[in-house]
Amino acid sequence: MLSAAHWSAAAARHRQRIDAVVGDYLTDRRQGGSHPVVDFLFTYYPYRPAQLRRWHPGYGTLLADPPSGAHPYAGARGYRGTHGGVTVGHDYLRQRERTLRTTGALLAATAGRPPRFGCFGLHEWAMVYRTDTPRHRVPLRLGTAGTDAVVEANQLLCSHFDAFRFFAGEARGRNATALTRDTQLDHEQPGCLHATMDLYRVGAKLSPLVDSNLVADAFDLAYRAREVDMRASPYDLADLGYPPIPIETAAGKAMYLREQQAIADAGSGLRDRLLDTVRGLLDQLPSS
């Protein structure tokens, strides 16, 4: 059990942590602004800023009633009232069993493979290959012809279906592997920048069963990976404070590889923590 003073302080620290990373962005967004790098974290991933800012202790912790007034977690998704407070309910845990098992299988399959590097972030280049419709409203750093030339000069080695599915039509056949949703478990690997970013999706999807500290750690790493992802993309984001990683050059490839390896290393530890959490939650359920 956490006292009201304890969980109130933990919730405030969590909000401050998130706001320190994206507070200025959220203020700009409320005024109608957009951002080609950060928007992805709140549009592609279905977890709104208000949800990210709300702290959860995870399954198995009782939040004691406040000294006065209504409990702010009473009626929140997944929570139930009990003597002296509220907690994430066992019924809710049972409802999420299928998601926990599929998520655990994907995490374990990914963690069980050696990381592969050398894709150089070319998925973003493949998404605009031989097309006049870029995905972002910022200029292409090398122009259309220059972007196409980079794709044609390199082997596409994407292993992540949720990047591959956005490839332009003529780029799909250039990938070393034809990826599908049904074979995702066979190809996901821990060197992939997007596989590491998706650890945030896992934490968000399993909230409030998982501790918000774990979700925030995943968000921080996803934010870092997204910046590298877009710096290595064909877009010119220098005016937004993102100097390019010019993967069309040998020096740029070396720079990308260093960043990719560092993010994969951080992702490995985070993936293990998430997998341990998922397995711990499944241990609370009867064997099927």
Domain ranges of the chain: 1-288
For residue 49, what are the CA distances in angstroms to 25, 59, 98, 236? 10, 22, 26, 27
pLDDT tens profile 263-287: 999 999 999 999 999 999 999 998 7
- pTM, two decimal places: 0.94
Phi, psi dihedral angles at 117 (to 5 degrees): -120, 175
Would you say residue 256 has pLDDT above 60? yes
Q: Is the pLDDT of residue 147 over 70?
A: yes
**Radius of gyration over every alpha carbon of the chain, rounded to an integer in angstroms:** 21
Question: 240, 36 in Cβ contact below 8 A?
Answer: yes
Q: What is the mean pLDDT of residues 223-227?
A: 95
pLDDT tens for 79-99 read 999 989 999 999 999 999 999
Q: Cβ(55)–Cβ(15) under 8 Å?
A: yes
5 vs 24, which has greater pLDDT? 5
Interatomic CA distance for residues 104 and 231, integer angstroms? 31
| DSSP helix/strand/coil, 24 | helix
| CA dist., res. 180 & res. 40, Å (int) | 22
Confirm if 218 and 199 have CB atoms less than 8 A apart: yes
Is the pLDDT assigned to residue 252 strictly greater than 80?
yes
| Residue 50 pLDDT exceeds 80 | yes
Cis peptide before 134 (omega within 30 of 0): no
Does the pLDDT of residue 13 top 90, yes or no? yes
* Residue 217, pLDDT above cutoff 70: yes
Q: Are 288 and 207 in contact (CB under 8 A)?
A: no
Read off the pLDDT band of 135 (50, 70, 90).
confident
pLDDT of 288 reads 55
Return the pLDDT at 84: 92
Beta strands in the chain (DSSP E): 63-64, 79-82, 85-88
